[in-house]
Structure 1
């Protein structure tokens, strides 16, 4: 079962020396100025010209889940030299379990979490913990629908931020999108806006920032069946300091790409349409550096503990590729890598052979998406997730965020 463990664990980490030929080149475009002499000219002075402005460098944020803390802290470059490139980091192990209850995940290694937060402080990185809605479907919507309970929830968040001495708070309430019935969105939307507005005032009065992490929207509409308009990206933009758009997880249940390029471009276009121009500088585009590993066909009878969909990332892929003899294939349409292989699962009683399919984003894919965001005028990116990346991904992230791009 060692193959199963390696394929299924997002919490394992290995040093990667795997090198694959990248399929995204960075092409330099040289602009030539051509002087055109008119047949007749009534212009007596110089003709005004406009020089295109290169895209601005991107700030870098990131989420850090608890299950990668051991890997991060084992890295020799996990200190100030790497962290100094980050603007803010969101520890990803705090959950909202009631209107006045915020808890650390049971599996969080408290000693490592404390050490990591200490490193962030020493490096001068803003600490903006993510708060995840871990309640059952509809419960957060119910909390926000009652002004008194909603205000009590705001107070609980402010007190949590004070106790942690956090620089800000990141609200990551995904149950609206992925658990609640979309028929409830029309009622939830105004309550959500009121909540964000009230929390914004409170946190700003406390000298703290407010970020939200929300899924994509594809236009400015707040009705219909396209995008997660329940979050009303445009309406909340004036209240938040960062509007983080999760531009990944395109495929989750069924095998497929993580953030195909055509969809990624739709996400960019959609948020720019939805958010008023004066708040575009607050948009932060979430960039995925991971993948999934799905079973597609099964021959035989699998044991109950046979792996289903599992996560992969640059820190774990090389071991899987090496042991299984996998030959990755570049998909230039999606801007990702794919691979298939067979896995035998045997517990001594039952046995099956799974055909498994992988999709993931590598260093070149990260760089390409960062540059797409910058060229669209988005000046901030956030990596999902810090701790997944290897040196190649990290270097690609830094380079693509800062290098000069020809407009």
Structure 2
């Protein structure tokens, strides 16, 4: 990956897959976090915030991110030292700003450490236990001092600088280093991500002595929290796809056979390359008046433009496509590789020795991974149960990829069941109460979902089933139930093929006594005895009942009291007032034993002389 950094040029020649991608309708479900990746340091500044912007705007899709801020460089006297990339201008200002943005978005940050120590230096450092321990201590200190969530090792020098002859001696030291660093970070509650090149060669041979076996994937995956495999750069020197899907799938299948898939982050390119075609004899396909590669400065410049291999991001694709004069219809989607490519002419002018302007045309071919290609590789996350797709780069992508990825992430999100309940705050004992409920699955009505109305007596917390039901097409359900006492109601929904089990909030309902009365006579003499038969439901032996009279000021005054028998019955007596007239009475059964207060309908008594 680090090899690509100086090659990123705004020369994208996108295919039809890059253009006019319609945003799909989004589901209500929160998306699953399935993305990761790296942000070049120059895309994490206040003046060029493309990487930060991409992450913050899609923060709910990201498991973690790794800004390329740090390098391990050679230290005088031996060993390596960790420092901010010297090319990162104003890092002391830009890093705190970027971290503020990422933290506010709730993103896990694992800064990437690139090996910039030179050929053989990192291997020698890891071979020395003292220097290795010092390097580990410095890495942990860097994480702790800056409040990072961990770090990402991107030590590519073994693969691309040291040569494969060094791998047998490097591998055990590298493995020990990863094990020791993992233990040190975990002791501080921090995460370790390790980035490695492909463990498979370009013939899909994996494991053993195939691919970049020096990184010892099976061993490091046991201790790392994440392993990122750079499943790209299939074609570099020669013309061809960046990451053909068959090769990427072979990498995935091998990796998941030797490690926990839930730790694997699959590298996905958001870039492409352009090459000049060659004839069968190895010469470049050029036409017109072409320069000498060893000629004048003008010729050497033109030769470079005509023949150099160029890398590009897709962010500038639309304008570059227009500038190159390549119509969208010229771009081909390769179904086998799951990438786009285009062949086109590139004219370059130069000045000959006589001062005349000459034109030479190169026949160029570009391969790249646009939004549809990014989606195709990201879909391996769901197929194989991987941790995430890791983009190189975040910030250089075509914005059209985001609706596609979001829709896919939502399709992977676990279904959610939202259960609601509506119940009256109080009901009368013995009378059926209407309880309504509803089930939403991912925000849409959940039809045909089995549900249960449950009840717990007041202060108990032990729920019992009262009734069962099934939601209708609108996701609604209605229960008619006689509650045994005051308490708490809730509705539970059973798991189905399309939704998990769910449970509503709890709804408190007070059940009040029913108090019925019957007067012996509605007319009595002054100071006489008022007798009223009382029935209280539900019956509770020795429950007190009160006879009350309405006063002129609108309050109720107590006249007498009595206790009901086991059947809830009592003959309640009270003394009539001395003044003649018409008086209003009622009987009250105070609350208790899970039943709230019950009050009879009022009744009138006429007092005569």
Q: Same fold (TM over 0.5)?
A: yes
Question: Residues 182, 160 of structure 1: CA spacing in aligned structure 2 closer, same or farther, 3 A cutoff?
Answer: same
1:227-249: per-residue Cα shift (whole Å, max 9, x none)?
11111111111211101111111
Shift of the 373–398 alpha-carbon distance from structure 1 to 2, 3 Å rule, reads same
- 2:387 is aligned to 379
| Corresponding residue of 1:330 | 333
Partner of 1:10: 9
Distance 2:266 2:208 in 1: 23
Structure 1 unmatched ranges of 5 or more: 1-7, 26-55
Give the 3 Å change call, closer, same or farther, for CA 88–12 of structure 1 in structure 2.
Answer: farther
CA offsets 1:360-383 (integer angstroms, 9 cap, x no match): 011111111111232122232211
Q: Is the 8 A contact 2:38 2:393 kept in 1?
A: yes
Residues 1:389 and 2:397 are matched in the alignment: yes
Aligned match of 2:65 in 79, 89, 96?
Answer: 89
Rounded Cα–Cα distance in structure 2 between residues aligned with 1:184 and 1:359 = 33
Q: CA–CA distance in 2 between the matches of 1:172 and 1:200?
A: 15
2:42 paired residue among 44, 47, 67: 67
Select 2:229's aligned residue among 242, 245, 248.
245
Residue of structure 2 aligned with 1:177, choices 137, 145, 159: 159
Comparing 169-178 with 111-120, greater Cα deviation is found at 111-120
Higher relative contact order (CA 8 A, sep 6+): 1
- Cα shift readout 1:300-330 (whole Å, capped 9, x = no counterpart): 1154343422222221111221122212111
* Alpha-carbon distance in 1 for matches of 2:96, 2:351: 43
Q: How does 1:352-371 map to 2 (within 5 A)?
A: 352-371=360-379
| Runs of 4+ residues deviating >6 angstroms | none
Asked if 1:288 corresponds to 2:269, the answer is yes
Seen in structure 2, the aligned counterparts of structure 1 residues 112 and 173 have a Cα distance that, compared at 3 Å, is same
Query: Counterparts of 1:370 and 1:158 in 2: how far apart (Å)?
Result: 31
More strand by share: 2
1:222–1:230 Cα contact (<8 Å) kept: no
Structure ID, larger Rg: 2
Q: Does 1:204 align with 2:204?
A: no
- Whether the 8 Å CA contact 1:220–1:274 is kept in 2: the answer is no
TM-score by length of 1: 0.80
- Unaligned runs of 5+ residues in structure 2 are 1-6, 25-30, 278-283, 294-298, 353-357, 414-496, 498-609
- Cα separation, 2, equivalents of 1:217 and 1:265: 12
Deviation, structure 1 residue 390: 2.6
1:64-105: CA deviations, max 9, x gaps? 002333686269965744234322110113211033412222
Q: Distance in 1 between matches of 2:212 and 2:236?
A: 16
Q: SS state of the match for residue 179, structure 1?
A: helix
Q: Tell me which of 236, 240, 243 is aligned to 2:220.
A: 236
C-alpha distance in structure 2 between counterparts of 1:57 and 1:293, whole Å:
35
Q: Secondary structure at the match of 2:49?
A: helix
Inter-CA distance 345–399: structure 2 relative to 1 (3 Å threshold): same
Describe the shift of the 1:78–1:359 C-alpha distance in structure 2 as closer, same or farther (beyond 3 A): closer
What is the TM-score when the length of structure 2 is the normalising length?
0.55
SS at match of 2:151: strand
* Cα distance in 1 between the residues matched to 2:235 and 2:87: 27
CA distance in 1, matches of 2:226, 2:50: 30
RMSD value over aligned CA atoms? 3.1
Displacement after TM superposition at 1:404 (Å): 4.1
Structure 2 residue aligned with 1:255:
239
Q: Is the 8 A contact 1:58 1:378 kept in 2?
A: no
Q: Contact 1:58–1:381 (CA<8 Å) still a contact in 2?
A: no
Aligned with 1:136: secondary structure?
A: coil
Structure with a larger share of its residues in helix: 1
Distance in 2 between the 1:204 and 1:84 partners?
25
Structure 2 CA distance for aligned equivalents of residues 132 and 376 of structure 1 = 29
Shift, 1:333, TM fit: 1.1
Partner Cα separation in structure 2 for residue 76 and residue 152 of structure 1: 32
Q: Check whether the contact 2:70–2:83 (CA below 8 A) recurs between aligned residues.
A: yes
- How many residue pairs are counted as aligned between the two chains? 362
